[in-house]
Amino acid sequence: MRYIPPFRLAVLPTRLLRRCTRPGLPAVVALMLLAALFWTAAADAASTLVLYNGQHPQSVRLITRAFEKATGIHVLVHSGEGPAIVQQIIRERGDSPADVVFVENSTSINLLNQKELLSPVSAATLSRVPRQYSATNGRWVAVLARQNVLTWNPALVHSRNLPKSLAALARPSWKGKIAIAPGDSDFLPLVDAMIKVKGEKAALEWLRGLKHNAKIYPDDEGVVAAVNRGEVATGLINNYYWARLRTEVGPQRMHAEIAHFRRRDVGNLVNVSAAGILASAPHKLLAQQFLAFLVSRKTQEMLARGDVDYEYPLVSGVKASPVITPWNKLYPPRIAPSRLGTDVTALQLLEKSGLL
Amino acid sequence: MRGRLPPALVFLASMPALLVAALIVATVGDALGSGVTHLLTEFLGSAVIRLLFNTLGLMIAATLLATLIGTATAFLVVRTDVPLRPLWQALGAAPLAVPAFIASYAWVSLSPHFEKFGGALLVTTCAYFPLVYLPVAASLKRLDPMQEDVARVLGTSSFGAFVRVILPQLRPAMLGGGALVALRALTEFGAFAMMRFQTFTTQIYLVYTAGLTGSVASALALVLLMLCLLVLVAYVLLEGGHSYASVGRGAARAATVYRLGVWRLPALAFLVLLAAASVGVPLGMTVFWLTQHGAAAITPAEVSPHAVFQATWTSIKLGVGGAIFTSVLILPLALLASRWPGRRMVTWLSQVPWLAQGLPGIVVALSFITVAIRIVPWLYQSTLLLLVVYAILFMPFALVGIRAALVQSPPLLEEIGRGLGYGWFGVLRRITLPLAMPGVGAAAALVLTSIVSELTATLLLAPLGTETLAMRVWENTSTLAFAGAAPYAAILIGISMVTSWFTASRFGVAAHATAVGS
């Protein structure tokens, strides 16, 4: 630094001031851009709802768009995989900015419920959906449903050789013939259900068998695509991945088919997408409004009619897409979604078996 | 400028190094903390073996292939009479403006048969061969043709001269480029995830999204970090201890242009094929999906002009904000490096930011989430945190560019300014910066390009409600909604090409590549 005589120090502030009053254009633009960057995030907090979303972003965008149109309430969406979203809320402790959490599977939201991080859903909203699908303590509402199915390629396996039960896929005879996506959040409920029905030890044995047999894919989209192009004979997926692939490639290029296990087998498990309001939610009223919107007839019809979602609507009187197996032909095991578990044990077993 | 280093400037200039050092400590600490025990108990698990096999297999194959293709292309373009040489010269660098995950999207949407290893290798090679091509082409142009002539006079065939004289001279460029390709192959995430090819980066993401926090992800991150370190060590070992210097530059004479004869057509076919695979398919498929109606062709993801505009605006905002933030952060260091070169501390300070290049974006982002929640909660989910991560990832590019621009502005003018009574800040504002501005702008444009096409950190750290072009491409491609991804992909490529062109026109393509690659 140059030496500045003390008497000249007095001049410095005025010089600084002058400098600040006519700064260069680039500096102004830069400052304004930076300011805009931070400002937009903070804008309009009062009439904004924050949604932590573990559902497919495309479906949720349809919903939030319609909600914004109907109510004028802006929805800020943070999307990710359900289990990661739930872990994030737990890590954020009471400071989460989230109002509503909407996930693909009840097992994710059960964990939040167990940790007492949810607040009650209004009775009117809960009554829109058959009681057995939502939380027994009324802290989350079931919105839509899907079924676990086996997708299979008729060119590679005969229909009479298809497995009758989920457990059978762990037998040595299935080596190399089954595709799974143990990292997809939709795989966890199946493990939860296995634990529920057969116990932890048997579930772990089953996973070890799968580990030996299965070809591993990163997600259900990958599984159904692989079966469709004949890379592997069968695959475990939720039924809507099959329907979406069918829309994508067109029915004539759809070689994969759907099979169900024998009636009431664990493999026929029905998963529900569920929504809840955080106990720490800054906008509880708006959140209640959003949940009511999710189970409104209009929203459920919009989702059932369109070719984006392919889930079963849970509100009575709304028909599911004709592309998927009719709701009354599913024969799922009798396990209430809120009693399915919390993914915690399922994750431990997946880790132990080496599948994750 | 000589004399004592101004302490204020040194303080500011040490910020980048401090940031990177803190990041490395946090990342490695995080990984070591819970990862080691898990690693010891589960290391021989077949999952890790498979990942090692996949990751190393791809890295080695991509590095060899990219080096081979890059070198061959450089030789064809610089030293042979292959037709349309200027065109190939430009097209050789063009893939750098196409983010690897966009190329991946294009190939996967062309046919699902491109998934897995084959597709991953194809995309990595096509996206990164310019990292070898550009430095090798630059060295070829600088080579003294006299040495070849000597070899020929001594009776070597032209092929022999190539192997025994030219190739050894290209060794540093090939090794440097190859090391970059290897590092990119190790740290790439988006391209592999879209190819459904499992490597360490995709598995870390998977484990994270499955809700398994802690030990598994940390153990995987630790192995990946070690692999990156191994590449760096291997590079240093292979690179050192050779002398390539020649005495005197010899007479300036154009190098021999080899006549390809009957090989002209096959060589041309090779270049056409390469350009088609590396630039043609990504651009072509994007344009193809643009013309398809979302609902008719593919899983319909609603594409509205509003959504496209929003994502574009967000990407540009983040890109410009990040570029300014990064440039301002790096400016003191660039100033120090250009005006007081050779000081040990200055060299050291400007080396440290490069270390972050060996850290995979996914590992960086995850450790930042942990640190932010635990230590600085007000930074968590803020735009500022994302900008800091961008700065760490792309600081070296800004450093290279801004320092180059500062070196070009003559210190004499600054001394005159000082003589006229300005302090160092006055000199900086009135003389140094205005002179360096075009270069600073080009460097900032390069950072902007990198930010707009960054996927991993953006995906994990984006503040609430923020959706960028890259995120939209990702979200649509992972649910196989290819038509839905197209408008975002097209705009992304457009921005990237314009800003790359801006940088290249200022610094020349080779400098651009050094920065992008390094």
Q: What is the pLDDT of residue B466?
A: 87
Q: Is A301 an interface residue toward B (CB < 8 Å)? A: no
B242 close to B173: Cβ distance less than 8 angstroms: no
A218 touches chain B (CB under 8 A): yes
Give B464's contacts in chain A (Cβ within 8 Å). Answer: 41, 50, 76, 78, 97
> Which amino acid is residue B165, in one-letter code?
V
User: How far apart, in whole angstroms, are the C-alpha atoms of residue B24 and residue B30?
Assistant: 10
Please state, in angstroms and rounded to a whole number, the distance separating the CA atoms of residues A23 and A5.
26
Integer Cα distance of B401 and B445 in angstroms: 10
Task: List the beta bridge partners of residue A146.
Answer: A271
What's the CA gap between B93 and B300, in Å, rounded? Answer: 35
pLDDT tier for residue A1 given thresholds of 50, 70 and 90 = very low
For chain B, what are the domain ranges?
A: 25-236+266-288, 292-518
- Residue B258 φ/ψ, nearest 5 degrees: -75, 140
pLDDT given for residue B46 in this prediction: 63
What's the confidence (pLDDT) of residue A23? 45
The Cα angle at residue B336 between residues B335 and B342, in degrees rounded to 5:
130
**Contact assignment for A108 to B211 by CB distance below 8 Å:** yes
User: Per residue in B310-361, pLDDT tens?
Assistant: 899 999 999 999 999 999 999 999 888 888 877 888 888 887 887 777 778 8
The pLDDT tens digits for B9-20 are: 888 999 988 888
Q: What is the pLDDT of residues A176-201, one digit of tens each?
A: 999 999 988 899 999 999 999 999 99
Distance CA B480, CA A242 (A): 12
Nearest chain B residue to A306 by CA distance is B300
The predicted model gives B210-225 an average pLDDT of 76
Q: Rounded distance, CA B333 to CA B322, Å?
A: 17
Residue B390, pLDDT score:
92
Mean pLDDT calculated for residue range A213-221:
88
Model confidence band, residue B300 (pLDDT cutoffs 50, 70, 90): very low
Please give the average per-residue pLDDT across B429-443, as a whole number. 83
Higher pLDDT, B139 or B316: B316
Best mutation target among B480, B482, B488 (most A Cβ atoms within 10 Å) is B480
Going by C-beta distance under 8 Å and a sequence separation of 6 or more, which residues neighbour residue A328?
Answer: none
The CATH number of B25-236+266-288 is: 1.10.3720.10
**Going by CATH, does the domain composed of B292-518 fall within 1.10.10.10?**
no
H-type alpha helices, chain A? 6-9, 11-21, 25-42, 57-71, 82-91, 106-114, 123-126, 188-198, 200-213, 220-228, 239-249, 284-294, 297-305, 344-353
Residue B42's pLDDT band (cuts 50, 70, 90): low
Rounded to the nearest integer, the mean pLDDT of chain A is 87
Kindly list the structural domains of chain A, giving each domain's residue range(s) and its CATH number in brackets, ordered by start.
48-145+272-326 (3.40.190.10), 146-269+345-353 (3.40.190.10)
Locate B317 and state its tokens.
């905002």
Residue B108 has pLDDT above 70, yes or no: yes
Cross-chain residue pair A221–B481, CB shorter than 8 Å? no
Q: According to the model, what pLDDT value does residue B515 have?
A: 47
DSSP string over A91-136: HTGGG---SEEEES-HHHHHHHHHTT-EEPPPHHHHTTS-GGGS-T
pLDDT above 50 (res B68): yes
On whether ipTM exceeds 0.85, the answer is no
Chain A residues with CB-CB distance to B380 below 8 A? 92
The answer to whether domain B25-236+266-288 and domain B292-518 are alike in fold is yes
Confidence check: pLDDT of A17 > 50: no
Mean pLDDT of B164-185: 86
Asked if the model's pLDDT at residue A16 lies above 50, the reply is no
Q: Is B513 left (phi over 0), alpha (psi -120 to 50) or beta?
A: alpha
pLDDT at residue number A11: 46
Q: Give residue B507's pLDDT.
A: 66
Question: Is a pLDDT exceeding 60 seen at residue A10?
Answer: no
Average confidence score pLDDT of chain B: 82
The model's pLDDT over B175-199, given as tens digits with 9 standing for 90+, comes to 888 988 998 899 899 899 888 888 9
Distances (CA, A) of B165 to A113, B14, B210, B245: 72, 43, 54, 13
> pLDDT by residue (tens digit) across A238-270?
999 999 888 878 888 899 999 999 999 999 999
Tokens 């540093």 found at: B172
pLDDT at A30: 64
Q: Which of B341 and A63 is assigned the larger pLDDT?
A: A63
- The whole-number average pLDDT for the span A313-330 is 93
Q: What confidence score (pLDDT) does residue B244 get? A: 58
Q: Is the pLDDT of residue B203 over 90?
A: no
- For residue A229, which residues of chain B lie inside 8 Å, CB to CB? 112-113
Count A/B contacts: CB-CB distance under 8 Å: 149
Set of chain B residues whose Cβ sits within 8 Å of the Cβ of A356: 47, 206-207, 210, 212, 216
Q: Token pair of A259, please?
A: 């099979």
Give the model's pLDDT for residue A143: 97
The more confidently predicted of residues A170 and A216 is A170
Is the Cβ pair B299, A244 closer than 8 Å? yes
pLDDT at B3 over 90: no
> Which pLDDT belongs to residue B516?
44
In eight-state DSSP terms, residue A281 is -
